[in-house]
């Protein structure tokens, strides 16, 4: 079974600075998808960024980018120019590319605080 | 537009009550999901509907009964719940259940308190 580990329960960053959230995963599959979701206190889970494992190029979405290291099974999220609105719980998630594998496997989350 | 709506936002119910949670999306997605999330924990998958048919039931107690009347609507019927069922219930949808189109978009959730 696949597992996702987020080793940082809490992180903090100064406004306008850069922060990196860690995520590692364990799988024997070669094809899969990885996601970062953000859940602010308003509680809605918002998709931040996604990565297909077959793509070598790291995904980017504006201030958010990932460092995808397939061999190391690592999928870290970098937030540049941090803003107060980035404060949230961040979940890393894995999904198999195999048919019939609809389940998202989540990590335990990292709570990010942004200090003004 | 990646909007999934859920009603009600908050629900308080007794252990003998019957209530329903509602989820709606108008993005043409054909897969819909129910998750349960306890405080400071990641979401746990409960049910998956694909093309209006139940695809996954993660061994959820029968006091939770999902229903998918059409491709846009997903309900979760609640009956004889226990206090430990108090949680945030999240609905999600995706275009399909295969490929990157499986990317799930979540609703704002219903905060349920069982007394």
Tokens 């998630």 correspond to A93
Measure CB to CB from residue B106 to each of A45, A50, A108 and give the nearest one: A45
Please state, in angstroms and rounded to a whole number, the distance separating the CA atoms of residues A17 and A82: 5
What pairs with residue B53 in β-bridges? B50
pLDDT in tens, A30-63: 889 999 999 998 778 999 999 999 988 999 999 9
CA distance B19 to chain A (A): 22
Please state, in angstroms and rounded to a whole number, the distance separating the CA atoms of residues A11 and A111: 6
pLDDT along chain B (115 residues), means of 10: 88 93 94 93 92 84 93 95 96 79 88 95
Sign of CA dihedral B102, B63, B44, B110: positive
In this model, does residue A101 exceed pLDDT 80? no
Range A4-11 average pLDDT: 97
Instruction: For A85, list phi and psi in degrees, rounded to 5.
Output: -70, -10
Q: What pLDDT does A99 receive? A: 67
In this model, does residue A100 exceed pLDDT 70? no
Please state, in angstroms and rounded to a whole number, the distance separating the CA atoms of residues B29 and B33: 11
- N residues, chain A: 116
Tokens of B11: 């629900």
- In this structure, are residues A47 and B103 in contact, taking their beta carbons and an 8 Å threshold? yes
CB pairs under 8 A between A and B: 55
pLDDT in tens, A9-38: 999 999 999 999 999 999 998 889 999 999
Determine whether the interchain pair B100/A107 forms a contact, defined as Cβ–Cβ distance below 8 Å.
no
């Amino acid at each position: 079974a696949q597992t996702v580990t987020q080793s940082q329960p809490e992180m903090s960053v100064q406004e306008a600075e850069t922060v990196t959230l860690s995520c590692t995963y364990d799988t024997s599959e070669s094809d899969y998808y990885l996601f970062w979701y953000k859940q602010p206190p308003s509680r809605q889970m918002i998709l931040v960024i996604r990565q297909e494992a077959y793509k070598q190029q790291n995904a980017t979405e504006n201030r958010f980018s990932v460092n995808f290291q397939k061999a190391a099974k690592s999928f870290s999220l970098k937030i540049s120019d941090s803003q107060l609105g980035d404060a949230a719980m961040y979940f890393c998630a894995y999904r198999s590319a195999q048919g019939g594998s609809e389940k998202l496997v989540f990590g335990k989350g990292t709570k990010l605080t942004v200090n003004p | 537009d990646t909007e999934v709506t859920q009603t009600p936002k908050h629900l308080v119910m007794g252990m003998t009550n019957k209530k329903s949670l509602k989820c709606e999306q108008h993005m043409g997605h054909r897969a819909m999901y129910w998750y349960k999330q306890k405080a400071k924990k990641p979401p746990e998958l409960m049910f998956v509907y694909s093309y209006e048919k139940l695809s996954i039931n993660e061994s959820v107690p029968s006091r939770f009964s999902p229903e998918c009347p059409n491709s846009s609507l997903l309900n979760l019927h609640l009956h004889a719940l226990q206090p430990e069922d108090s949680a945030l219930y999240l609905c999600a949808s995706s275009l399909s259940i295969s490929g990157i189109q499986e990317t799930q978009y979540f609703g704002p959730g219903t905060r349920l308190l069982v007394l």
